[in-house]
Amino acid sequence: MSDVTIRQIADALGRDRSAISRRAKKEGWPYIEEKARGGARREYVFAQLPPSIQKALHGDVVASLVAESDALVADLVQVRQRIAALDAEIAAMLKLRGGDQ
């Protein structure tokens, strides 16, 4: 993980952005200002964030990956079911075709 925004940190901690911004300012978290639509946004250097913040962000990433993999597994199950249905249709067509000869 590289740089993170206040929004990502707030989401990971389940807190509002203003509280995280105040904490970042108070604790002097290093950041890089990036140009953004309507001004600039701060991106905080992940490796220099407090360990508790890093841990929460890792947990958030893991949870996202688990949810994403669950969705992919569900998609795979649907694809396999569709393939099985198509195989059955092909087998039925071949059987009919073989019966006509």
pTM metric for this prediction? 0.56
Structural domain boundaries enclosing 88: 3-100
Which amino acid makes up residue 54?
A: Q
pLDDT digits (tens, 9 = 90+) for 24-80: 999 999 999 988 888 888 999 888 999 889 888 887 666 665 667 777 888 888 999
pLDDT given for residue 87 in this prediction: 93
Report helix angle 6-13 to 51-100, nearest 10: 80
What CATH code is carried by the domain that includes residue 72?
1.10.10.10
Structurally, the chain folds into a number of domains equal to: 1
